[in-house]
């Protein structure tokens, strides 16, 4: 009896959390900035901490993932005598799947966890409520700039990741393993379509950005105002963010590739 | 000063993003690489194009001189009507040249090879080549081989 009751309680709680998260998102979107230049300066500060500071991890991991893909693709394709196709493999894997997904996972770990911790600490030290006391809207001042900065940064980071990965793969395949550069690029260009592959990757990254940043700011705003609560909220951000990225990736891929 | 530096870094970040997008567009998906070249179009009808796709190469003596623009079905003749974009600097393809659909290696991509004819007259925009050779379909080849080997008994 008790276990059924606790199941019911947790079900009600999680549905209520979904509802609160939805209301929270509407609040964030509806609170328009009072002045454009003030909002821009807040936004630029957040883009710097969310995007520019994530650049190093994105570039380094993109480079190594591209190089590993080039190496693995070469050893397998060389068995079939079609090692020129490594360019095609590299570009399609990076643009369609690995670029958006790995970037979003790294972003959830690197930037979103920091967002949650920051907002959670503001709540724990009662900065949010004192802002409200001063008549400053915390949604407009704190939450919205961080949310929008995430939406802007993740697609850009994803594009940079894919480009760097392809450069890294080219370095391994063409400069090191001596695949003919012309057929490497021409096979790649023949199989990659800008309007589907590149644009779909960016759309994917944008959807992941909405999901992870929303989770991050909501968890920060909702967290228990204790040091333990902040830790739990940060963990939840990374776990829920990563899971939602992978689940969304399946849905988006099915919608983009499948015509069924 | 601090805020200016911040803005500079964000600006660099955005510029880097656009540069990467341009790189993906031009180098990786070859957006402008093909369209910037001047081309003229010719046509040919094939009995069977096998696995020929759009943007497949057209080559003379192994050198790429153009690509497949579109493939549609000629509804009257039940043949594949293939339109090619040939680079404008290759103007001297004789009108009696023949086309064959070939495969690059055993598992490689399909491409179109041009065998040069003997006429003095050259192809122009909208011209058509009539001497075409279909793609080799492996199943047909095998069934032909089996048929011939059973006939011998």
Question: If residue A161 lies in a helix (H) or strand (E), which one and from where to where?
Answer: helix A144-170
Is the per-residue pLDDT at A242 higher than 90?
yes
Q: CB contact, 8 Å: A197 with chain B?
A: yes
Of A55, A153, A166, the CB nearest to B28: A166
Is the per-residue pLDDT at B151 higher than 80?
no
CB contact under 8 A, B6 and A44: yes
For residues A52 and A57, what is the distance between their CA atoms, to the nearest angstrom?
Answer: 10
Q: Which residues of B lie closer than 8 Å to A, measured between beta carbons?
A: 3, 6-7, 9-10, 12-14, 16-17, 20-21, 23-25, 27-31, 33-34, 55-57, 64, 105-109
Contact A99, A156 (CB under 8 A): no
Q: CB contact, 8 Å: A52 with chain B?
A: yes
> Counting beta carbons within 10 angstroms of the beta carbon of residue A87, is it exposed (0 to 12), middle (13 to 18) or buried (19 or more)?
buried
3 state DSSP class of B103: strand
Chain A environment of B21 (Cβ under 8 Å):
159, 163, 198
What percent of chain B lies above the pLDDT cut of 90? 8
For residues B73 and B54, what is the distance between their CA atoms, to the nearest angstrom?
Answer: 14
CB contact under 8 A, B13 and A55: yes
Cβ within 8 Å of residue A60, ≥6 positions away: none
Chain B environment of A81 (Cβ under 8 Å):
105-107
Cβ–Cβ pairs < 8 A, chains A and B: 87
pLDDT tens, B81-108?
A: 999 888 888 888 888 888 998 887 766 7
Q: Which of A17-26, A195-204, B66-75, B107-116 has the lowest mean pLDDT?
A: B107-116
For residues B31 and B55, what is the distance between their CA atoms, to the nearest angstrom?
Answer: 12
Contact B79, B57 (CB under 8 A): no
Cβ within 8 Å of residue A248, ≥6 positions away: A207, A208, A211
User: Residue A258: what pLDDT?
Assistant: 67
Q: CB B20: neighbour CB atoms within 10 A?
A: 22
User: Residue A1: what pLDDT?
Assistant: 84
Chain B environment of A193 (Cβ under 8 Å):
29
Of A48, A82, A185, the CB nearest to B105: A82
The average pLDDT across B69-84 equals: 90
CB contact under 8 A, B106 and A44: no
User: Residue B10: what pLDDT?
Assistant: 87
Strand partners, B114: B99
Cβ within 8 Å of residue A85, ≥6 positions away: A73, A77, A187
Mean pLDDT for chain B?
Answer: 83
For residues B84 and B82, what is the distance between their CA atoms, to the nearest angstrom?
Answer: 7
> Counting beta carbons within 10 angstroms of the beta carbon of residue A159, is it exposed (0 to 12), middle (13 to 18) or buried (19 or more)?
buried
The average pLDDT across A152-159 equals: 94
CB contact under 8 A, B106 and A81: yes
For residues B129 and B133, what is the distance between their CA atoms, to the nearest angstrom?
Answer: 11
Is the per-residue pLDDT at A250 higher than 80?
yes
pLDDT tens, B106-117?
A: 667 788 899 888
DSSP state string for B10-31: HHHHHHHHHHHHHHIIIIIS-H
User: Residue B36: what pLDDT?
Assistant: 54
Nearest CA in chain B to A77: B107
More confident residue, A129 or A60: A60
pLDDT tens, A85-130?
A: 888 899 999 999 999 999 999 999 999 999 999 999 998 898 888 9
CB contact under 8 A, B28 and A189: yes
- What distance separates the 2 farthest-apart alpha carbons in chain A? 71
CB contact under 8 A, B14 and A41: no
Helices of type H across chain B: 2-23, 31-35, 138-151
Contact B62, B20 (CB under 8 A): no
User: Residue B32: what pLDDT?
Assistant: 58
* E strands in A72-228: none
Q: Fill in the DSSP letter of residue A126.
A: T
pLDDT band at B9 (very low <50, low <70, confident <90, very high): confident
CB contact under 8 A, A91 and B28: yes
Is the per-residue pLDDT at B1 higher than 70?
no
User: Residue B55: what pLDDT?
Assistant: 76
Query: Which of B23, B27, B28, B33 to mutate against chain A (most A CBs within 10 Å)?
Result: B28
Nearest CA in chain B to A185: B28
CB contact under 8 A, A159 and B7: no
pLDDT band at A259 (very low <50, low <70, confident <90, very high): low
The average pLDDT across B51-58 equals: 81
Separation of CA A101 from chain center:
7
CB contact under 8 A, A194 and B16: no
Chain A environment of B24 (Cβ under 8 Å):
95, 159, 162-163, 166, 194, 198
More confident residue, A1 or B150: A1
Q: CB contact, 8 Å: A41 with chain B?
A: yes
Torsion (CA) A180, A185, A187, A190 in degrees, nearest 10: -160
pTM score, whole prediction = 0.76
Strand partners, B127: B42
3 state DSSP class of B63: strand
Q: CB contact, 8 Å: A95 with chain B?
A: yes
């Amino acid at each position: 009896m008790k276990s059924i009751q606790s199941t019911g309680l947790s079900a009600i709680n999680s549905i209520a959390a979904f509802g609160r998260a939805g209301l929270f998102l509407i609040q964030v979107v509806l609170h328009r900035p009072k002045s454009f230049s003030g909002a821009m300066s807040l936004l630029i500060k957040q883009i710097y901490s969310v995007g520019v500071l994530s650049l190093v991890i994105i570039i380094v991991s993109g480079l190594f993932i591209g190089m590993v893909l080039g190496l693995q693709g070469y050893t397998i394709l060389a068995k079939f005598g079609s090692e020129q196709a490594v360019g095609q493999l590299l570009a399609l894997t990076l643009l369609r799947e690995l670029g958006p997904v790995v970037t979003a996972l790294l972003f959830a770990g690197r930037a979103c966890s920091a967002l949650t911790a920051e907002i959670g600490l503001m709540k724990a030290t009662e900065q949010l409520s004192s802002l409200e006391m001063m008549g400053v809207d915390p949604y407009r001042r704190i939450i919205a700039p961080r949310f929008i900065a995430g939406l802007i940064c993740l697609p850009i980071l994803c594009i940079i990741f894919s480009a760097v990965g392809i450069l890294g793969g080219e370095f391994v395949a063409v400069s090191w393993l001596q695949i003919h550069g012309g057929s490497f690029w021409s096979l790649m260009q023949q199989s990659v379509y800008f309007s589907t592959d590149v644009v779909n990757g960016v759309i994917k990254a944008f959807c992941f950005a909405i999901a992870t940043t929303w989770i991050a700011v909501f968890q920060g705003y909702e967290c228990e105002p204790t040091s333990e609560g902040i830790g739990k909220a940060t963990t939840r951000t990374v776990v829920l963010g990563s899971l939602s990225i992978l689940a969304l990736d399946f849905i988006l891929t099915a919608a983009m590739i499948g015509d069924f | 000063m601090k805020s200016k530096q911040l803005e500079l870094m964000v600006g660099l970040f955005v510029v880097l993003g656009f540069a990467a997008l341009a790189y993906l567009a031009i180098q990786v998906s070859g957006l402008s690489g093909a369209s910037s070249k001047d081309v003229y179009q010719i046509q040919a009808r094939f009995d069977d194009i096998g696995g020929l796709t759009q943007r497949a190469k057209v080559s003379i003596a192994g050198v790429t001189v153009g690509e497949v623009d579109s493939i549609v079905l000629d509804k009257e003749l039940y043949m594949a009507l293939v339109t090619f974009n040939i680079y404008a600097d290759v103007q001297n393809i004789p009108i009696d040249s023949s086309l064959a659909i070939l495969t690059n290696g055993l598992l490689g991509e399909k491409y179109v090879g041009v065998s040069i004819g003997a006429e003095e007259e050259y192809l122009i925009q909208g011209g058509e080549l009539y001497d075409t050779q279909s793609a080799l379909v492996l199943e047909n080849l095998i069934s032909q081989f089996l048929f011939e080997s059973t006939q011998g008994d």
